[in-house]
Amino acid sequence: MRLGVLDVGSNTVHFVVVDAHRGGHPTPMNDSKTRLRLIEYLDQDNSITKTGIARLIDAVNEAADLAKATKCKEVMALATSAVRDSANSDEVLAKVAKETGVELRVLSGEDEARMTFLAARRWYGWSAGRILNLDIGGGSLELTSGEDELPEHAFSLQLGAGRLTHDWFKTDPPERKRINQLRDYIDAELEGPAKELRAAGDPDVACATSKTFRMLARLTGAAPSSEGPRVERILTAAGLRQVIAFISRMTAADRAELEGVSADRSYQVVAGALVAEASMRALGLESVKICPWALREGLILQRLDRDVGGDGKGS
């Protein structure tokens, strides 16, 4: 089955085409991204502006055209934090559907966390035992823990790298005072969820998904993406602290020159690193494994499960 996954995130509109079948791993056939930074099109009322909606419609139309060109049997179209948390979410969804014919499914923060956890579970397998997973997106941070296919505990917090950069940093590089204030804010937001996750038990595997974690691991010496997804990549707390001390003094343009940092995310990598550091500290983690599968793979796997009568809930 050729499936398309259209993911409207806070940073990009990402369209992936995969050939997939039950019992096999999804094989990527096409990968297209449109840099959007939808989080930057929020007005003072937390509504997505007309310009932002217009750009989103253009990006969705491009993905729809690509879906036809690649002969996708089905397209799963979803929107996450930036659309989900905007004040005019219903208006945005209606306009996109009217202008493109694509109906975006808004994932709740908990569902986003659950699908990402499912991908991590399938990647590491049952032998991994209890998995604790961290995922930093542009608009939100997801934290999950569990021993089954789906997590026992799932949290989605408005601690995305793009959102925090937009709300907290007005200079480039960010002021040291603002960095310290943001650290305090992140710590406070994490206190309750981290307490519950620690009470659930020590993880057998602590892992992290998302582009932000992959970039941070690369900056600490992990293998480049060209070496493939099966090479073990680890991000340590000590290495992360060194990276933060280094990149927080650089401009976004200078950070974009670093190996492993993409130009479209260089502006937000400092905030992302602060979230990663605080999360690992709050959860007592000295290191995390970088899992190459995340939300999109989780959705694909759930869809394939339904083809053979599964309920998509880990049963």
Each residue's pLDDT tens digit, 143-174: 999 999 999 999 999 999 999 999 999 999 99
223 sits in which H/E element: none
N-term to C-term CA, the chain: 23
- 8 A C-beta contact, residue 53 and residue 36: no
Structure-block tokens of residue 116:
């990402």
| Rounded-to-integer distance, Cα 105 and Cα 4, Å | 14
DSSP secondary structure of 267-304: TTHHHHHHHHHHHHHHTT-SEEEE-S--HHHHHHHHHH
Nearest partner of 248 among 157, 169, 138, 188, judged by Cα: 169
| Rounded-to-integer distance, Cα 220 and Cα 161, Å | 19
Question: Angle at the Cα of 127 (from 122 to 131), degrees rounded to 5?
Answer: 65
| Rounded-to-integer distance, Cα 49 and Cα 47, Å | 6
Section 104-116 average pLDDT: 95
Q: Is 48 left (phi over 0), alpha (psi -120 to 50) or beta?
A: beta
DSSP secondary structure of 229-270: TTS--EEEHHHHHHHHHHHTTS-HHHHTTSTT--TTTTTTHH
Section 240-256 average pLDDT: 97
Predicted pLDDT of residue 198: 98
Evaluate if residue 313 carries a pLDDT over 70. no
Average the pLDDT over each of 16-30, 59-73, 253-267 and give the range with the smallest value.
16-30
- The residues, any chain, with a CB within 8 Å of residue 239's CB and separated by 6 or more, are 220, 221
Tell me: the pLDDT tens digits for 23-64? 777 788 888 999 888 988 999 999 999 999 999 999 999 999
Tell me: the pLDDT tens digits for 290-309? 999 999 999 999 988 876 54
Place 312 in a pLDDT band, splitting at 50, 70 and 90.
Answer: very low
Evaluate if residue 269 carries a pLDDT over 60. yes
Section 6-10 average pLDDT: 92
- 8 A C-beta contact, residue 14 and residue 32: yes
| Rounded-to-integer distance, Cα 210 and Cα 197, Å | 20
pLDDT over 70, % of the chain: 97
Evaluate if residue 315 carries a pLDDT over 90. no
Predicted pLDDT of residue 131: 98
| Rounded-to-integer distance, Cα 48 and Cα 231, Å | 39
Query: Considering the chain, what is the average pLDDT of its residues?
Result: 93
pLDDT over 90, % of the chain: 84
Predicted pLDDT of residue 309: 47
Query: Using the 8-state DSSP alphabet, how is residue 88 labeled?
Result: T
Predicted pLDDT of residue 100: 96
Section 232-258 average pLDDT: 97
